[in-house]
Structure 1
Amino acid sequence: MNFFKTTYTSKLVFTALVIFSSSCSDDYLEEMTYGEISPSEMTSPGNVDRAIIAAYSLLNGQYDASSSAFNSPASNWSFGDVVSDDAYKGGGGTGDQNNIHLMEIFNTNPTIIDIERKWVALYEGVKRTNEAMRLLQNSQEYDVALKENRMGELYFLRGHYYFELKKIYNTIPYIDETAATVNDYAVSHTQYTSEQLWDKIEENFSNAYERLPNDQEEVGRPNKMTAKAYLAKTYIFQGQWQNALDAANEVINSNKYSLLPNFRDVFLPENDNSSEIIFAVQHSVLDGAPDNYNGSIGDRLSAPGGPFYSQYGFHRPSQNLVNAYKTNAIGMPVLDNKNLAEADFVDPRLDHTVGRPGIPYLDLGVLYEASWARDLSTYGPFAPKKRIVSANSPYQIKTWPYISALNYYIIRYADLLLWKAEALVELGDLEGARAVVNQVRGRAKDSQYVMNLEGTTPAASYRIETYNTPWTDQATAREAVRTERRLELALEGHRFFDLVRWGVAAETINAYLEVEKTRRTHLTNANFIEGTHNYFPVPQKYLDYLASTK
């Protein structure tokens, strides 16, 4: 196993700094003290390294000794998929993790545990990063050349944590490494404008880019192009199309990354750090961590059930998503949202992404059955598949908490290519955008298809083609790029945030709900309100904490 898969168990806890006062809530940010180090020893190179590793460790959303990272998942399956048109909550009915059900029907409130835990996990990442920066800057013994690299990593991590906070909550407090006391973290979430916050996030990634090396010896650490790719993402979210295009082109022209030939191979744990992965949360199992907390703990409720997995049954693909993979006789998307019929042509990525009745499930030698699905009557027959690891794999733990070592990909190369295509459309280069989208569709076309159990014929009527007709209409090209993002990145936690930044969340989600309510009664009371549900509320406990400090 690699360095980062085996060292996430090292956690240096700084008891002098907490984000929320204990008098406000003793259980809101509980931290386990693994050991105390005298102040004079804190800046030794070894302890600085431990502090840096502690900053990395929050990437997977696990910040305490519970197993509740599914309420603060790195993959954002609940924050990015369940509240979109891609997925239902799933589980054992609406009362099972009712907090996520409330999110799904847009009855979210600032006391929901997911709203609180995600906030705490990300700010714990900020806090650890800030403190690691302070220690690194004050260390006289740390190797000078390596210090610059490590500072670049910390700027990158802080940029990531703040990017996540900005896209989820929008108005957030910004705290840097000058914070030294509890009161320094009592900062208003309205102190900065949206533009100022984006500027600060950009600054973190720019500082990372300036300091990071072209290559890292250890996988899991960002390099110069990782930072540039995240800058591209930051520009994309602001609609800064030329900046986004320039940043994406620099990453592409570095030739550090490429699409894997086979779509399914991207999601095999043994390929976790392949040429397609620009940055990922490093997961591991059987590494000595308590209860395998270094694994994909945030996704542990996604197990599909059936004879091979525990029946948690969350993160269930929607009928609308399945329908989106329908294609016509020439392999182009059909976006009519009519329920997929057995004779319909489909994009081959469907059966790598979704477990469907009558289609083989991974390499298990069985057909997926509707009966695998927990609470079939409420959430329908489909199961997640793309990010589920085969029960035959040594990277899948078959005992509690039933998790895998599959990394979560924060940015992969296909994602970057589609940002480039999006920027090109908005800048008027429609043919350039078509060529980029065709790289992604071409990989899907040339990939290995899911075969029947005998391995003799494709398991369904797969048909996909690249766009062979010139794009001459910007609106049509824009829709094609957005559709490709959905098909390529489905169930990877991006969909809701894409809809919001495109300005079509209310239109898309309410149209989805209008039809979906006729299929799924648990959505009867769901309604998306523009300007209210585009972002999640700042946790009430944080607001109460601020009030208590005045």
Structure 2
Amino acid sequence: MYRRLLSSLLAAVVLTALFTGCDSFLQKSPQGELTSENFFRNGEDAQRALNSVYDYAQARSFDFFPPYPMIFGSIASDNATKGGESGSDQISVQRVEQFNPRPTDPYITSTWNTMYTGIYRANLVIANVPDIESMSASQREQIVGEAKFLRAYFHFYALKMYGLGNDRANDGPGIPLITEPLPASDADVPRTSEAEVWAQIETDLQDAATAMGPTAPDLGRATEGAAKALRVEAHVFQEEWSDAQTLAREIIDSGRYSLDPDYSRVFDQRGEFGPGSVFEINHVDLSSALEGTVGTIYQNSRDTWGYGFNCPTQALYDAFEANDPRRDATIIESGETITGPEGNTETVEVVGACAANGPDGYLNEKMWLPAARQPSGPRKGPTNRRVIRYAHVLLWHAEAANENGDPQAALESLNKVRARARDDDDDPSNDPDGVLPDITTANQSELRDIIWHEQRVEFAMEYQRFFNLVRQGRTDLMADDGFQEGVNERFPIPQEQLDQGTALDQNPGYE
């Protein structure tokens, strides 16, 4: 919890190598506990402190809760149902799905605590690293830049969860904006307006992009491109279309990213940190530490070694165009035989609550692992989380360009994504049997709907659908599940946070 951790000791973590000849950004178990007052002495301390910030970006639960992005970005939307053994399995997740979450629910609380613990640790780095004289100026700037990126990342997610308004006027209730490592006695912080939070996110990401290079010192660490891309998303959420289009075009023109020709490979371990990876959170199955994700075991079939949560809906299945290869790479149908990257095949049955979803029931193939690669423990799933892909940048650019009355620029970026999906190397003449033909309409309203649809199928089951529906003003698509306008755009502030002070008030509808 944020307030409790303000007076706790700073956990120290270190870098290690995952593959021979390929450094990967990982965390090991704490190598000792040191107070912030005696910790920041040299470059090694600074790096270990930064690693502890990344530790909270992993979104793995220290209490073995399901990962919060899966719950709020996917299960809360029309793309997925809860699944599990039965309807009562993980009842608080079911309440999120049915839009009646409680302020005392563990996932509401753990998400808040994760965001604000990450912010606290980032603030420690930002406040202390500039004073370490034994480091070079460039080393200090790099580490502080990464910490500012992560502080913006945590504030951004917390704002989407707890503080956005009901429209894009930036007049939502906001969230606590914390930019210094406050002592425990000062942790009762009131909300800052939505507009002011956005402004701080913008400032942090501008600073981060200036400080960080185009490539990361280690895989899994943020880069200049990641900071710019997160700024693009922030502009899109605020409908600042001119800024979004300009900045997205800057990323596209940099030539640093490209679309992996094989869509399905992107989500396998073979595709980790591939050419289209802008920001990716690393997970690994280590026998000595909990650096994996619980998302793997939660989303694999109950027929094998998983728990069968986060099941694609029939509506999502039907949303894919005819013969779109992305559907087969995204959704497992019951009884489907899948060939793993090692060439072994496995027939996957859908059992439990997922089996009641649609005619056959479905599972999320983007998190599937064959039995031969079952993790060594429940919290050790090796699947990385692709937070920002180059396809995001292209479709944000398409959306912004369309809103700016620039349909040709919008079509160029949109059709690049569709061309990769049909695997024709961007050559429309190789279009196989009319699969995913290029879009040609210049009608703004029609093109808007097409771009939104493309975002849905391209990023299906990647934990973003709910927040996109909210920002697009299309929450009516969730009305049949109980969504209430003016209430469910936000989730409740955790009750334990309200109980510890008087500065915060509850979000409307959850009092």
Q: Which residue of 1 aligns with 2:477?
A: 508
Q: Where in structure 2 are the equivalents of 1:78-227 lying within 5 Å? A: 78-170=71-163, 171-177=174-180, 179-189=181-191, 192-227=192-227
2:483 is paired with a residue of what secondary structure?
A: coil
The 3-state SS of whatever aligns with 1:110 is: coil
State the distance in 2 between where 1:387 and 1:543 align: 35
* Partner SS, residue 279 of structure 1: strand
Indicate the SS of the match to 1:88: strand
Using a 3 Å threshold, how does the CA distance of structure 1 residues 5 and 62 change in structure 2: closer, same or farther?
farther
Aligned-CA RMSD value: 2.4
Query: Which amino acid in 2 is paired with 1:44?
Result: N
Structure 1 residue 368: Cα displacement: 3.5
What residue in structure 1 maps to residue 59 of structure 2? 61
The code of the aligned residue for 2:178 comes to I
Q: Is 1:534 equivalent to 2:503 in the alignment?
A: no
Q: What does the per-residue CA deviation read over 1:450-508, in whole Å, with 9 as the maximum and x for residues that have no partner? A: xxxxxxxxxxx99622225x313211100100000011000000101110001111x21
Percent of counterpart pairs with the same letter?
A: 29
Superimposed CA distance per residue, residues 426-445 of structure 1 (whole angstroms, 9 cap, x where no aligned partner) = 11122321221111111111
CA distance in 2, matches of 1:404, 1:50: 23
Shift of 1:314: 0.3
Unaligned runs of 5+ in 2: 1-17, 164-173, 426-431, 506-511
| Structure 1 equivalent of residue 417 of structure 2 | 440
Shift of 1:276: 0.6
Structure 1 residues 482 and 356: alpha-carbon distance in aligned structure 2, compared to 1, 3 A threshold = same
Deviations 1:236-292 (A, max 9, x none): 110000100111111111111000011011111132111110001111112521xxx
Q: Which moved more, 1:2-11 or 1:268-277?
A: 2-11
Q: How many residues end up aligned between the 2 structures?
A: 465
Distance 2:473 2:30 in 1: 40
**Structure 2 Cα separation of the partners of residues 373 and 463 of structure 1:** 35
Q: Which residue of 2 aligns with 1:280?
A: 280
Supply the distance in 2 between the matched residues of 1:11 and 1:301 (Cα, whole angstroms). 26
Partners of 2:477 and 2:42 in 1: CA distance? 53
Separation in 2 of the partners of 1:391 and 1:447? Answer: 32
Matches within 5 A, 1:387-466: 387-393=367-373, 396-397=374-375, 399-401=376-378, 403-446=380-423, 464-466=435-437
Equivalent pair of 1:11/1:54 in contact (CA under 8 Å): no
Q: Distance in 2 between the 1:119 and 1:37 partners?
A: 23
Change (3 A) 1:271 1:229: same
Answer whether contact 2:402 2:448 (CA < 8 A) is retained: yes
1:295 aligns with 2:292: yes
- Tell me by how many angstroms 1:367 deviates: 3.9
**2:320 match:** 325
Conserved 8 A contact 1:11-1:50: no
1:377: Cα distance to partner? 5.5
Tell me the SS of whatever aligns to 1:410: strand
For structure 1, which runs of at least 5 residues remain unmatched after alignment? 13-33, 328-345, 449-460, 514-525
- Aligned counterparts of 2:502 and 2:352: Cα–Cα separation in 1: 43
Deviation at 1:548, TM superposition (A): 9.1
Report how far residue 362 of structure 1 moved.
3.8
Q: State the TM-score, normalizing by the size of structure 1.
A: 0.80
Answer yes or no: is the 8 Å Cα contact 1:82–1:104 preserved in 2: yes
- Residue 429 (structure 2) aligns with: none
Question: What is the letter of the counterpart of residue 148 of structure 2?
Answer: Y
Q: Hey, what's the Cα distance between the residues in 1 that align with 2:37 and 2:453?
A: 54
After superposition, where does 1:301-340 map in structure 2 within 5 Å?
A: 301-306=298-303, 309-327=304-322
**1:324 and 1:280 mapped to 2: Cα distance?**
26
State whether residues 349 and 444 of structure 1, in contact with CA within 8 Å, keep that contact through their aligned partners in structure 2.
Answer: yes
SS of corresponding position for 1:243: helix
Q: 2:455 aligns with which of 480, 485, 493?
A: 485
Q: Which whole-Å CA distance do the structure 2 matches of 1:121 and 1:229 have between them?
A: 22
- With normalisation by structure 2, the TM-score equals 0.86
Distance in 1, matches of 2:448 and 2:36, equals 57
